Amino acid sequence: MLIAQNQENISGRAQDLAALEATVRDAVREQPVWDFHTHLYPPSFGTPFAGSGKASDPKGLMLWGIDELLTYHYLVAEVFRVVTPQQLSYDDFWRMTKREQADHIWKHLFLERSPISEACRGVLTTLQRLGLDPAERDLAGYRQWFDEQDPDRHIDRVMEISGVSRITMTNAVFDDNERLRWLENRHVGDDPRFAGVLRFDPLLRDWPAAAAQLVRWGYPVNKTLDDQTVEQARKFIRDWIDRVQALYCAVSLPPDFRYEGLEDPRTSSTVLRKIILPVLAERDLPFAMMIGSRLRVNPELRDGGDMVGLADVASVARICSDFPHNRFFCTMLARENQHELAVAARKFGNLMVFGCWWFVNNPSLIDEITRMRVELLGTSFIPQHSDARVLDQLIYKWDHSRDLIANVLADKYRDVAATGWRPSENEIRRDVRLFFHENMSNFLGTPTP
């Protein structure tokens, strides 16, 4: 009798845990996400592949379609692992048309080898979720399907499939192609599906070059940071915040970036202290720091030639301490930085850790990093962003990440349930909403009603 009762209790607990896991997975799958950081643009910025829509723009910034998916820089770097520069030179590859490059990558990474890397699997997930059959291995058929799509309507389709409610752009003011689009068309950023973010890496990475550009653009500054230079550089940032209607400002920084405090004489620290952070405090906007990218380690690979390096979390902590009235988003590229960064976020309420960026955006690392962050920070961080450069990547980036995040949360709610604390469905959905939308909106200062 006792054995039967124990078996019944065990069976009941198993059913409860299965129901709990199903609730978590439903909540994660159904919650719309505000994608915190992408490199995506609406059609108003032009698209080099127009599909059935308007004429193509060779320098357009809206990237989409199968050829863009296949020639993404992750896959370019990967294909040079198997067809070496001795067999096909970098110059010969870059002289190919986009379609020829895509054919080359499809042949060597999908047909002659199994596409088991995360970048390759992402292409297959995207095709499948769009209703195309990866089993057919029909690149010509996939191209025909994309050729028939209108880019504007395709955005809606991709957002619906991926569960993305709003896309946050990265608007690089020092990129001439993008900057001129903003200057020539004041409505270029009006698409309500997309939100603007002002990015100005050269201000911190290379002040002398940035200063020369500002002078050419009508802001009389000097390489030395005198009072006039400080005010004119602040004016530049204010002008572009207004033009872009920026939700926050952002920079990508090298792993050797350092900030030693209020007396640090380095130019980058002075620019941060005297120019950038005062304007953002005045405008009540956060500052996003993406730290750890070592640029052009192999310049022959172009965008695929960047590498990772170990960053200095202590510099981030000092910035948060010295500027308590500013708010900071931060993500780091090296796996080895993730634990220290999460610990730093426990010490500073003005620091919001976000996403698994670039080289740590792989399933094994997303799982590891998300678990560690939940254990240290509970629900008070942004677990993921897509970093997508091709519109269709939203589909696989969020499909794969939702599965991984759901796995972590199911385990953590199971741990809590073992203590007798049974989270309700409403509580689980509240927590998932925090992760996918409200932690971002609240930290931005635009809370959801």
Q: Does the structure show a pLDDT above 90 at 14?
A: no
- Confidence (pLDDT) at 150: 96
For 33-155, strand residue ranges (E) read 33-35
Residue-wise pLDDT tens digits, 164-214: 999 999 999 999 999 999 999 999 999 999 999 999 999 999 999 999 999
Q: Helix, strand or coil for residue 319?
A: helix
Q: What is the mean pLDDT of residues 265-277?
A: 98
Of 305, 372, 365, 364, the C-alpha closest to 341 is 372
Q: Where are the domains of the chain?
A: 30-43+167-381, 47-147
Of 280, 282, 292, 290, the C-alpha closest to 327 is 280
Q: Which CATH architecture has domain 47-147?
A: Orthogonal Bundle (1.10)
Residue-wise pLDDT tens digits, 77-125: 999 999 999 999 999 999 999 999 999 999 999 999 999 999 999 999 9
Cβ atoms of 317 and 328 within 8 Å: the answer is no
- Confidence (pLDDT) at 12: 55
Q: What is the mean pLDDT of residues 243-251?
A: 98
Q: Tell me, what amino acid is at 389?
A: R
Of 183, 153, 203, the C-alpha closest to 51 is 153
- Half-sphere exposure of residue 270: CA atoms within 13 angstroms, side-chain side: 13
- Confidence (pLDDT) at 86: 97
Residue-wise pLDDT tens digits, 313-371: 999 999 999 999 999 999 999 999 999 999 999 999 999 999 999 999 999 999 999 99
Q: Helix, strand or coil for residue 285?
A: coil
Going by pLDDT thresholds of 50, 70 and 90, the confidence category of residue 446 is: confident
For residue 164, what are its two tokens? 């993305």
- Confidence (pLDDT) at 15: 81
- Confidence (pLDDT) at 1: 54
For residue 397, what are its two tokens? 């980036």
Q: Which CATH architecture has domain 30-43+167-381?
A: Alpha-Beta Barrel (3.20)
- Confidence (pLDDT) at 55: 86
Cβ atoms of 314 and 342 within 8 Å: the answer is no
**If you average pLDDT over every residue of the chain, what do you get?**
96
Count CB-CB contacts under 10 A for residue 69.
25
Q: Evaluate whether 30-43+167-381 and 47-147 have a shared fold.
A: no
Q: Does the structure show a pLDDT above 50 at 449?
A: no
- Confidence (pLDDT) at 215: 98
- Confidence (pLDDT) at 414: 97
